[in-house]
Amino acid sequence: MADGGEFITVRRRKSRGKLQGRHNASLACLADVNNNNNSTSICKTSDSFYDKPWKDQRRNSHPAKAKSCTELRIVGKAERRHAAGFHTRRCICRWVMSYGRLLWTDQLKLDFSQGCPVCRVSFSTEEALRNHMQKQHGRDFDLMLDVTDRRIVRNTMRLTVKYLARASRMIIRVENYSEVVLILRAVYLFGLDQRLEPTFDGVLRMVPGYSYEIEHTVKQCIPNYQYTMILSATVAGSQVELIEQYYVQMLKSTPMVGNQLKMGILPYHHIPQYLIDLYLKEFEHDNHYDRLAMLCLENLRKFNKAGLTPTNYVEHLRLLNMIEDYDLQTTFATYTIPKVTLKPMEQARRYLITLDQFDVPPNLLEEDGYARITVTKHNRNVDNNLEFINGYIDAVNETGIVVTMQAPVRFTLPCRVEFPLNRTQYKLEYEALAHISKIDLDQLLFPKVMAKKRRPVRQVKFDWFQPTIAANAEQVTAIRNIVNMTSYPAPYIIFGPPGTGKTSTIVEAVLQIWRQQPRAHVLVAASSNFACNELTQRLMRFVPEADIFRFFSRSCERNIETIDMEILEISNLATGIYEIPTYEHIYGSRIVVSTVTNCGRLAQAHVIPTFFDYIFIDECGSAKEISALVPIAGVGTEGSKIHASVILAGDPKQLGPVVRFEFLKKTVHNTSLLERLMAQGIYKRDPNTGEFNSLVITKLLDNYRSHKSLIHFSNEWFYEGELRARAASELTDWAINWNCLPNMAFPIIFHSVVGITRVDKQSCSSFNKEEAQKVLFYVQKMLTDGINERQIREQDIGIVSPYRRQVSFLRQGCRNYGWEEIEVGSAEQFQGREKPVIIVSTVRSQRKHVGFLANTRRLNVVITRARCLLIIIGNPDTLQNDPHWYRLLRYIYENNGVRGIDFVLRKPEVNIAAREEEEDFA
690 and 716 belong to one structural domain: no
| Range(s) of the domain holding residue 885 | 708-914
166 and 224 belong to one structural domain: yes
Separation CA 44–CA 101 (nearest Å):
4
Say if 426 falls within a structural domain.
Answer: no
Q: How many residues does the chain have?
A: 922
743 and 869 belong to one structural domain: yes
Half-sphere exposure (CA, 13 Å, Cβ side) for 603? Answer: 27
CATH of the domain at 791: 3.40.50.300
Name residues whose C-beta falls within 8 Å of residue 150's C-beta, 6 or more positions apart in sequence.
42, 43, 44, 45, 99, 100, 108
Say if 128 falls within a structural domain.
Answer: no
491 and 362 belong to one structural domain: no
Separation CA 147–CA 114 (nearest Å):
11
Q: pLDDT tens-digit profile of 866-889?
A: 999 999 999 999 999 999 999 999
Closest CA to 528 of 919, 830, 826: 830
590 and 525 belong to one structural domain: yes
Confidence check: pLDDT of 91 > 70: no
368 and 350 belong to one structural domain: yes
Confidence check: pLDDT of 478 > 50: yes
Say if 590 falls within a structural domain.
Answer: yes
Residue 585 parent element (H or E): helix 583-587
CATH of the domain at 242: 2.60.40.1940
What pLDDT shows up at residue 433?
Answer: 96
Residues 487, 491, 492: CA angle, nearest 5 degrees: 65
What pLDDT shows up at residue 67?
Answer: 27
Separation CA 244–CA 157 (nearest Å):
8
Confidence check: pLDDT of 736 > 60: yes
Dihedral angle over CA of 57, 62, 65, 69, nearest 10 = 110
Determine which of 133-137, 363-367, 554-558, 835-839 has the lowest per-residue pLDDT on average.
133-137
**Alpha helix (H) residue ranges in 608-720:** 625-629, 662-665, 673-677, 708-718
Per the CB < 8 A criterion, the answer to whether 498 and 864 are in contact is yes
Say if 423 falls within a structural domain.
Answer: no
pLDDT classification of 150: cutoffs 50, 70, 90: low
Residue bearing the bigger pLDDT, 254 or 579? 579
CATH of the domain at 362: 2.40.30
Residue bearing the bigger pLDDT, 32 or 910? 910
Confidence check: pLDDT of 121 > 50: yes
What pLDDT shows up at residue 871?
Answer: 98
754 and 822 belong to one structural domain: yes
Separation CA 622–CA 687 (nearest Å):
28
Say if 456 falls within a structural domain.
Answer: yes
Say if 664 falls within a structural domain.
Answer: no
> Of 250, 270, 297, which residue is a domain's last?
250
Residue 765 parent element (H or E): none
What pLDDT shows up at residue 910?
Answer: 56
pLDDT classification of 705: cutoffs 50, 70, 90: very high
What pLDDT shows up at residue 191?
Answer: 73
Per the CB < 8 A criterion, the answer to whether 833 and 528 are in contact is no
Confidence check: pLDDT of 103 > 90: no
> Of 203, 233, 250, which residue is a domain's last?
250
Determine which of 228-232, 254-258, 307-311, 386-390 has the lowest per-residue pLDDT on average.
254-258
Separation CA 633–CA 639 (nearest Å):
9
467 and 578 belong to one structural domain: yes
794 and 814 belong to one structural domain: yes
Question: How far is residue 512 from each of residues 482, 539, 589, measured CA to CA in Å?
Answer: 10, 11, 16
Separation CA 723–CA 495 (nearest Å):
12
- Do β-strands 697-699 and 492-495 pair in parallel, antiparallel, or remain unpaired? parallel
Confidence check: pLDDT of 94 > 50: no
Separation CA 508–CA 443 (nearest Å):
26
Say if 29 falls within a structural domain.
Answer: no
- Put residue 822 in one of left, alpha, beta given phi > 0 → left and psi -120 to 50 → alpha: beta
> Of 207, 230, 250, which residue is a domain's last?
250
3-class DSSP state of 767:
strand
Residue 281 neighbours by CB distance under 10 Å: 14
Separation CA 528–CA 563 (nearest Å):
13
457 and 562 belong to one structural domain: yes
pLDDT classification of 900: cutoffs 50, 70, 90: very high
Residue bearing the bigger pLDDT, 400 or 457? 400
Burial label for 707, CB within 10 Å (0-12, 13-18, 19+), is buried
Beta strands in 347-503 (DSSP E): 350-354, 370-376, 386-396, 400-405, 415-418, 492-495
What pLDDT shows up at residue 188?
Answer: 87
pLDDT classification of 66: cutoffs 50, 70, 90: very low
Separation CA 18–CA 33 (nearest Å):
10
Determine which of 74-83, 221-230, 250-259, 466-475 has the lowest per-residue pLDDT on average.
74-83
pLDDT classification of 851: cutoffs 50, 70, 90: confident
Per the CB < 8 A criterion, the answer to whether 577 and 22 are in contact is yes
Mean pLDDT over 682-697 rounds to 94
| Range with top average pLDDT, 37-46, 73-82, 428-437, 801-810 | 428-437
Confidence check: pLDDT of 95 > 70: no
409 and 466 belong to one structural domain: no
**CA 21, chain centre distance (Å):** 16
523 and 394 belong to one structural domain: no
Mean pLDDT over 294-315 rounds to 94
Confidence check: pLDDT of 847 > 70: yes
Separation CA 728–CA 748 (nearest Å):
18
Separation CA 338–CA 290 (nearest Å):
34
Confidence check: pLDDT of 700 > 80: yes
Say if 851 falls within a structural domain.
Answer: yes
What pLDDT shows up at residue 116?
Answer: 66
- DSSP characters for 843-867? ---S-S--GGGG-HHHHHHHHTSEE
- DSSP characters for 279-339? HHTTT---TT--HHHHHHHHHHHHHHHH-S-TTTHHHHHHHHHHHHHHHHHHHHHTT-BSS
State the total domains in the chain: 4
Residue 886 neighbours by CB distance under 10 Å: 18
Residue 796 neighbours by CB distance under 10 Å: 20
**pTM for this prediction:** 0.77
3-class DSSP state of 496:
coil
Confidence check: pLDDT of 47 > 50: no
What pLDDT shows up at residue 165?
Answer: 66
Question: How far is residue 115 from each of residues 31, 189, 242, 418, 641, measured CA to CA in Å?
Answer: 22, 18, 18, 48, 67
Residue bearing the bigger pLDDT, 400 or 33? 400
Sign of CA dihedral 770, 774, 780, 783: negative
What pLDDT shows up at residue 450?
Answer: 77
Start-to-end CA span in the chain (Å): 42
